[in-house]
Amino acid sequence: MTEPLIREDAVVLGIETSCDETAVAVVRGGREILSNVIASQAELHAPYGGVVPELASRAHVEQMPLAVDKALRDAGVGVRDLDAIAATRGPGLIGALLVGWATGKAMAGALRLPFSGVHHIEGHIFASVLGDDPFEPPFVALVVSGGHTSLFAVRELGGYEVLGQTLDDAAGEAFDKIARFLGLGYPGGPAIDKLSKRGNAEAVAFPRAMLRDGLDFSFSGLKTAVVRHVRRAEAAGEKASRSDVAASFQEAVVDVQVSKTLRACHELGIDRVVIGGGVAANSRLRARLGAEAKDARLALCVPDPALCVDNGAMIAAAGYFRLRRGEATPLSTPADASLVLSV
């Protein structure tokens, strides 16, 4: 085992700017969240119905110094109390990534601290180790976000076997596109989640793509089915109930996710499950997975919604883990918009 590069109770500043949240957090000992600042750009992008990369980069540049300052103040620490810096290296929007990446490297260089470049998805998986009761591998991890939909077998932290992934859209992307189509604005996931509470999830039997085929996912057919359903109702002079369509769409997504996650556990003989990523904040997914994992006697880790969406605490936790293993990222390393999660 390589020598740890930081102490066990090291204080790590984590920076995340892969998409549209300027997020900075301070975490002690890889688990204790001292602060977790998330400056969302949702309002900025809302008029465009999605993230505009150029606007995201500029907003990160504006928000970053304020977010770093607030994260330190909320944590009650100064820069001299930091033991290491972690930042998201990729994947994501390159202009957005570069803001957090350059900030992290500049701070690490100026303060002469070890630096860790974190894979965004590894960060989402590490949300499960934050808090008083860290979840131990082996587990199956379902990571569902605006850019990713993947199932992993995690037999030990730092080692990830891809069991399945989306063949087209990510789950969050499907939520955002359907929300836009229904005129619910951006970001779509929370809007559909909210509206669905008033709708009938059984109103429309939307397709459950690839439900029984392997562990990959596909959402583009579902998206087309929703659009076709609404247009057909309009052509017949009716108005499809938006809340029923939203609830039925959400149920179709959740059905496939829950069923594949449980099947992965069954096939691999693993009785522990973690969910992460923005879509893991979905109340229906949390409730259904909670109930079905209980029935199947699986231990389930569902991080707090604030730790499911993009945040700096998960990046600090993953960076802490890598630095404790003796793995630092040289400051000459570039950010990588298409970074692959090494297994």
Size of the site for ligand KG4 (CB under 6 A): 19
Is 173 one of the binding residues for Zn ion (CB under 5 A)? no
Closest CA to 16 of 84, 89, 72, 107: 89
- Interface pick for ligand KG4 out of 22, 63, 261, 282 (rule CB under 6 A): 282
- Interface pick for ligand KG4 out of 16, 83, 169, 176 (rule CB under 6 A): 176
Specify the residue, 17 or 103, whose C-beta has the smaller distance to ligand KG4.
17
Neighbours of 324 (CB within 10 A): 21
Residue 265: strand, helix, or coil: helix
The interface mask with Zn ion, positions 138-167, x = CB under 5 A, is -------x----------------------
The piece of 125-133, 155-163, 181-189, 321-329 that touches ligand KG4 (CB under 6 A) is 181-189
DSSP E strand stretches across the chain: 11-16, 21-28, 32-40, 84-90, 115-119, 139-144, 149-156, 159-165, 272-276, 299-301
Is 195 one of the binding residues for ligand KG4 (CB under 6 A)? no
Among ligand KG4, Zn ion, none, the one that 172 touches (CB under a kind-dependent 5 to 8 A) is ligand KG4
- Interface pick for ligand KG4 out of 95, 189, 303, 319 (rule CB under 6 A): 189
Among Zn ion, ligand KG4, none, the one that 63 touches (CB under a kind-dependent 5 to 8 A) is none
Residue 166: strand, helix, or coil: strand
Residue 142: strand, helix, or coil: strand
Interatomic CA distance for residues 172 and 147, integer angstroms: 7
The piece of 35-43, 126-134, 137-145, 154-162 that touches Zn ion (CB under 5 A) is 137-145
The piece of 150-158, 185-193, 233-241, 255-263 that touches ligand KG4 (CB under 6 A) is 185-193
Q: How far is the CB of 289 from ligand KG4 (least distance, A)?
A: 13
Closest CA to 25 of 317, 224, 294, 247: 317
Is 91 one of the binding residues for ligand KG4 (CB under 6 A)? no
Beta bridge partners of 217: 166
Q: How far is the CB of 187 from ligand KG4 (least distance, A)?
A: 4
Tell me the angle at which helices 188-196 and 242-268 cross, rounded to the nearest 10 degrees. Answer: 100
Answer whether 69's CB lies under 8 Å from 26's CB.
Answer: no
- Residue 50: DSSP 8-state: S
Amino acid at 324: R
* Residues forming the site for ligand KG4 (CB under 6 A): 19, 145-147, 172, 175-176, 187-190, 193, 277-279, 281-282, 309-310
Residues at the site binding Zn ion, with contacts judged by CB under 5 A: 145, 310
